[in-house]
Amino acid sequence: MSKTTDLTRKEESLPERSREIAAVAPLVDIYENDDEILLHVDMPGVDKKDIAVNIDNGQLVLGGLRKVETTGAAQWEEFGDVEFQRTFSVPQTIDIEKVGAELKDGVLRLHLPKSEAARPRQIEIKAA
Amino acid sequence: MWTRLSDLDRMIHAMDLFQNRMNRLHPEYARLRAVPAWDIAQGGPKTNLCDAGDHLEMRVEVPGVAKDDLSVKVQGNYLEISGSRKSDAPEGYTAHRVERAVKTFTRSFTLPADVDTGKVEAQMANGLLTLTLPKLEAAKPKQITIS
């Protein structure tokens, strides 16, 4: 686990950002078929606009920020503000242009299509 | 041609490495993880409860659980949340890693106040269930005027 801190260390000038948010690795399922690699990621409470997916140089970085609303006095708190963060190495054969993502019931589904050249091909065996 | 499998193996290895490194960097992470916490995989979802004076508000972490697969029961100050998380494994895919549990869960609570069961509201958004539980008139805080 890491704590999210500003790379530029702006904490002194921005006191409202000084509270550190815990970073947690979300649970992930990874599936693959001939056409794509599919990731299911649990991100409860994360809004669509707070999710970032970056693919660069064979690295897939998933990030999602969750702010938990509270009203009144807390009786118990088992979860709180969290930054979901996880990094994967992805094969270079992923067609980055066609990556698609959908969010439903707090689960992010990330489709990583394989490029045409990387798909398995049926080889026809010719009779000699 | 079949370099993809080894690519995936490498990817999974890298993920484990990443987690181990994070555990080492921040020992409190490992410690936190060692504490048995509520989780759907453990048989009960995580919850937060707030007391807002005239009502209680409970938030429940239920990622991947459809609205229809959840049930909430309230009686007096007793609250029960049960549901099931069904497998969402796609057809025709090979699974390389499955961390998200498929589970039926029930968790019950004793609330700090009696609840007006007729006015309870439940809302789902982004895998979070929010329950608004208005307190019974008798349980609401009252302003006392000093004479």
Tens-place pLDDT, residues A60-82? 999 999 988 888 888 888 888 88
The ipTM assigned to this model is 0.72
Compute the average pLDDT of residues A69-98. 87
Which residues, 6 or more positions from A19, have their beta carbon under 8 angstroms from its beta carbon? none
Using the predicted structure, report yes or no on whether residue A13 has a pLDDT greater than 80. no
Please state, in angstroms and as integers, the Cα–Cα distance from residue A117 to each residue in A34, A69, A95, B102, B106, following that order.
Answer: 12, 47, 10, 35, 48
CB-based burial, A80-102: b 16+ in 10 Å, e otherwise: eebbbbbebbbbebbeeeebeee
Give residue-wise pLDDT tens across range B106-141.
Answer: 999 999 999 999 999 999 999 999 999 999 988 888
A101/chain B closest Cα distance in angstroms: 15
Q: B8 or B61: which carries more pLDDT confidence?
A: B61
| Mean pLDDT score of chain A | 84
* Beta-carbon separation of A1 and B29 below 8 A: yes
According to DSSP, residue A35 is labeled S
B143/chain A closest Cα distance in angstroms: 17
Compute the average pLDDT of residues A82-108. 91
CA distance B37 to A78: 8
A16/chain B closest Cα distance in angstroms: 23
Nearest chain B residue (CA) to A48: B126
* Beta-carbon separation of B15 and A88 below 8 A: yes
Domains of chain A are 21-69+77-116 (2.60.40.790)
Give residue-wise pLDDT tens across range B28-75.
Answer: 554 555 444 567 777 789 999 999 888 999 999 999 999 999 999 999
Give residue-wise pLDDT tens across range A21-64.
Answer: 788 899 999 999 989 999 999 999 999 999 999 998 889 999 99
What pLDDT score does B38 carry?
67
Which residues does chain B have within 8 Å of residue A105's beta carbon, measured at their own beta carbons? 62-66, 124, 126-127
**Closest of A86, A4, A23 to residue B29, by C-alpha:** A23
What pLDDT score does B34 carry?
45
Find the distance separating the first CA and the last CA of chain A, reported in whole Å. 60
B146/chain A closest Cα distance in angstroms: 25
What pLDDT score does B121 carry?
94
* Beta-carbon separation of B7 and A71 below 8 A: no
**Closest of B139, B119, B7 to residue A114, by C-alpha:** B7
Compute the average pLDDT of residues B5-29. 68
In three-state secondary structure terms, B86 is coil
* Beta-carbon separation of A29 and B100 below 8 A: yes
Which residues does chain A have within 8 Å of residue B26's beta carbon, measured at their own beta carbons? 1-3
